[in-house]
C-alpha cells in the first residue's frame, strides 16, 4: 500500500455518500453554493466576448499549451530547475508525500523554524504536511480563510478552491466563538466581513511571527524559474514575503514553458474557478530577496513533487495531468453537489478526484469513485483544458474489470444479460415474461413501489410500468391485424 493510500477513505464512498445525502446542514450549505459557482463562471465566460475572445478557442489554446508541456515535461523541469537556481532558489525533488514532509521538516530545523504560515496548497494535503510539521514540533498555520476554518475545525478541505464550502455561516460562527474565545452572536451572512476581520486579526500575529512560509504554486514558469500564485485574499503575499524562508511545494505537472503560456492560461483559470476575469492577487515569485528589496524571503526552496504524476505520462490517463485545479468540474457536478467533497475520501473530490484518487492511491483502493458519475459530462464540457473526465472515469472502470476488481455478482449478471441480448428469440421469450412479472408487482395505479431486485431505485422512487407487454409483441400483433 502506498503512503497516499493509507490516508484514503475512498473505499467508504458509498456509506459516506448516504450519510451526506441525509445531512440537512450540509445540504443547505451545498444548495446555496452551487448556483453561485455556476452563475459566476457563466458570467465570466460570457464577458470574454467583450474582449473579442471566444471560450472554445481559449479552451483549445489552453489544452494545447498543457499538452505541449507534458510532451517534454522532463525538459521543461530541467529548464525550470536551472533558471530557478540561477535566481538563488534551491530546487529539491520529492518522490512522494512522506518525502515532502521530511524535506520541509529538515529545512525548518536548519532555519530554527517553530511556526510556519501556509497559503493554500492541495499538494500539502496529499503530503499530509501539517501532520508531519506538527509531529516535528513545528506549528503549521493555514491562512487562507477557508483553510483556516477547516484547520480550526480539525477537518480536511472539501473543495479545492473553497475548502469550507460544506460549512454554513452558523457553523463557522460557533467555531470562531469557541476558538477565538468570544460569545456566540448569531450572525447573518451580512456579518461575513466582520467574521473575516476577526480571522485576520488572529492571522496577522501569525504572519508577523512565523519564520517560514509554505505555499503551493498554480504554475511554475520554466523560462524564468518563477512560481505563480493566484489568490484572492492577499494571504499568499504575506506567506511568501514576510518570513525569512519560503518553501514552494507543488506537483511536477504545474510547469508551463513561458510567460506567454502563463498569460493564456490565466485567461481561463480565474474565470473557470470563480468567474473573475482576474483574481484579486496574482503573485509572480522569482528568487530570493535582492539588494534594495523591501521584503522577500532570504531563502526560497522549491520542492517539486511526483507522488504518482510521472506514472501517468504515456498512460491512458495522461490527459489528467493537464488539470490546472480550477474546480469547475466539481462546481458543475450533480454528484459533488449532492455530497460535498468529504464523501470522496481523499484530497481531491468531484470528477477530477474520481480520476486522481484511484490513480494516486491505487485503483483497488477507490473502486466506487469511477462509478460515482451519471456520465452527464457537465464536467468535461466546462473543463478549461478539455480533460475528457467521463472518458477517464470510464477507462478506470474498464481497468477494474480487466484486473478482476469488480464484484463477481455484478460481472455474472452483466454476462448473463449480454448473453441473452445476443440471442433475440430467447431474449424476447424472457423479456415477455419479465414485463408480465413486473406488471404483476405493480400496484393498481401501475407503479412498483418496492422492487427487491433494485432496492436502490425504489427506496426513493416509484417505477412506472406500462401495459405488461413488450413493444416487440405488440408490434407483431399489430402487423398480424
Give the range of 47-55, 93-101, 181-189, 335-343 binding other proteins by CB under 8 A: 335-343
Beta carbons of 5 and 365 less than 8 angstroms apart: yes
Bridge-based pairing state of the strands 90-94 and 299-305: parallel
367 binds other proteins (CB under 8 A): no
78 binds other proteins (CB under 8 A): no
Exactly one of 145, 199, 339, 383 binds other proteins (CB under 8 A); which one? Answer: 339
40 binds other proteins (CB under 8 A): no
Euclidean distance between CA atoms 151 and 86, whole angstroms: 36
Q: Which is nearer to other proteins, 296 or 468 (CB)?
A: 468
Euclidean distance between CA atoms 383 and 278, whole angstroms: 17
Give the range of 41-49, 213-221, 266-274, 421-429 binding other proteins by CB under 8 A: 421-429
Exactly one of 52, 190, 459, 481 binds other proteins (CB under 8 A); which one? Answer: 459
429 binds other proteins (CB under 8 A): no
410 binds other proteins (CB under 8 A): yes
Find cell 514552494 and name the residue.
248
158 binds other proteins (CB under 8 A): no
Euclidean distance between CA atoms 120 and 161, whole angstroms: 9
Exactly one of 22, 50, 189, 404 binds other proteins (CB under 8 A); which one? Answer: 22
| Min CB(145)–other proteins separation in Å | 28
| Min CB(463)–other proteins separation in Å | 6
Q: Which is nearer to other proteins, 181 or 455 (CB)?
A: 455
9 binds other proteins (CB under 8 A): no
377 binds other proteins (CB under 8 A): yes
422 binds other proteins (CB under 8 A): yes
Give the range of 59-67, 207-215, 288-296, 458-466 binding other proteins by CB under 8 A: 458-466
* Centroid of chain to Cα 168: 20
198 binds other proteins (CB under 8 A): no
| Min CB(387)–other proteins separation in Å | 15
Q: Which of residues 381-400 bind other proteins (CB under 8 A)?
A: 381, 394, 396-400
Exactly one of 372, 385, 387, 392 binds other proteins (CB under 8 A); which one? Answer: 372
Give the range of 2-10, 71-79, 210-218, 428-436 binding other proteins by CB under 8 A: 428-436
188 binds other proteins (CB under 8 A): no
Point out which residues bind other proteins (CB under 8 A).
14, 17-18, 21-22, 27, 334-335, 338-339, 371-378, 380-381, 394, 396-401, 406, 410-411, 414-415, 417-418, 420-422, 424, 427, 431, 434-435, 447, 454-457, 459-467, 469-472, 474-475, 478
Amino acid at each position: 500500500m502506498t503512503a497516499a493510500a493509507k490516508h484514503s477513505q475512498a473505499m467508504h464512498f458509498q456509506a459516506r455518500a448516504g450519510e451526506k445525502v441525509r445531512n440537512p446542514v450540509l445540504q443547505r450549505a451545498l444548495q446555496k453554493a452551487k448556483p453561485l459557482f455556476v452563475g459566476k463562471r457563466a458570467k465570466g465566460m460570457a464577458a470574454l466576448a467583450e474582449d473579442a475572445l471566444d471560450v472554445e478557442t481559449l479552451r483549445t489554446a489552453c489544452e494545447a499549451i498543457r499538452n505541449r508541456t507534458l510532451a517534454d515535461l522532463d525538459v521543461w523541469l530541467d529548464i525550470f530547475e536551472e533558471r530557478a537556481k540561477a535566481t538563488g532558489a534551491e530546487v529539491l525533488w520529492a518522490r512522494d508525500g512522506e518525502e515532502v514532509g521530511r524535506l520541509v521538516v529538515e529545512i525548518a530545523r536548519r532555519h530554527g523554524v517553530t511556526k510556519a504560515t501556509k497559503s493554500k496548497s492541495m499538494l500539502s494535503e496529499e503530503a499530509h504536511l501539517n501532520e508531519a510539521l506538527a509531529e516535528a514540533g513545528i506549528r503549521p498555520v493555514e491562512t487562507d480563510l477557508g483553510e483556516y476554518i477547516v484547520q480550526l475545525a480539525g477537518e480536511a478541505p472539501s473543495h479545492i478552491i473553497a475548502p469550507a464550502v460544506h460549512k454554513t455561516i452558523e457553523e463557522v460562527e460557533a467555531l470562531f466563538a469557541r476558538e477565538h474565545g468570544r460569545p456566540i452572536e448569531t450572525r447573518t451572512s451580512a456579518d461575513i466581513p466582520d467574521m473575516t476581520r476577526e480571522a485576520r486579526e488572529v492571522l496577522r500575529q501569525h504572519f508577523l511571527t512565523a519564520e517560514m512560509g509554505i505555499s503551493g504554486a498554480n504554475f511554475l514558469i520554466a523560462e524564468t524559474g518563477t512560481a505563480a500564485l493566484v489568490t484572492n485574499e492577499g494571504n499568499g503575499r504575506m506567506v511568501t514575503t514576510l518570513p525569512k524562508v519560503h518553501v514552494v511545494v507543488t506537483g511536477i505537472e504545474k510547469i508551463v514553458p513561458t510567460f506567454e503560456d502563463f498569460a493564456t492560461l490565466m485567461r481561463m483559470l480565474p474565470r473557470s474557478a470563480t468567474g473573475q476575469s482576474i483574481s484579486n492577487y496574482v503573485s509572480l515569485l522569482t528568487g530570493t530577496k535582492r539588494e534594495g528589496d523591501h521584503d522577500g524571503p532570504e531563502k526560497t526552496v522549491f520542492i517539486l513533487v511526483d507522488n504518482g504524476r510521472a506514472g501517468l505520462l504515456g498512460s491512458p490517463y495522461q490527459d489528467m495531468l493537464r488539470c490546472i485545479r480550477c474546480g469547475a468540474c466539481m462546481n458543475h457536478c450533480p454528484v459533488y453537489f449532492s455530497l460535498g467533497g468529504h464523501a470522496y475520501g481523499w484530497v481531491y473530490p468531484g470528477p477530477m478526484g474520481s480520476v486522481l484518487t484511484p490513480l494516486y492511491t491505487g485503483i483497488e483502493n477507490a473502486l466506487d469513485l469511477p462509478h460515482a458519475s451519471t456520465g452527464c459530462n457537465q464536467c468535461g464540457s466546462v473543463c478549461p483544458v478539455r480533460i475528457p473526465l467521463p472518458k477517464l472515469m470510464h477507462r478506470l472502470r474498464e481497468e477494474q474489470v480487466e484486473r478482476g476488481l469488480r464484484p463477481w455478482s455484478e460481472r455474472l449478471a452483466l454476462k448473463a444479460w449480454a448473453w441473452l441480448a445476443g440471442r433475440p428469440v430467447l431474449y424476447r421469450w424472457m423479456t415477455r415474461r419479465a414485463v408480465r412479472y413486473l406488471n404483476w408487482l405493480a400496484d393498481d395505479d401501475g407503479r412498483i413501489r418496492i422492487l427487491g431486485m433494485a432496492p436502490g431505485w425504489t427506496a426513493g422512487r416509484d417505477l412506472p410500468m406500462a401495459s405488461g407487454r413488450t413493444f416487440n409483441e405488440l408490434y407483431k400483433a399489430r402487423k398480424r391485424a
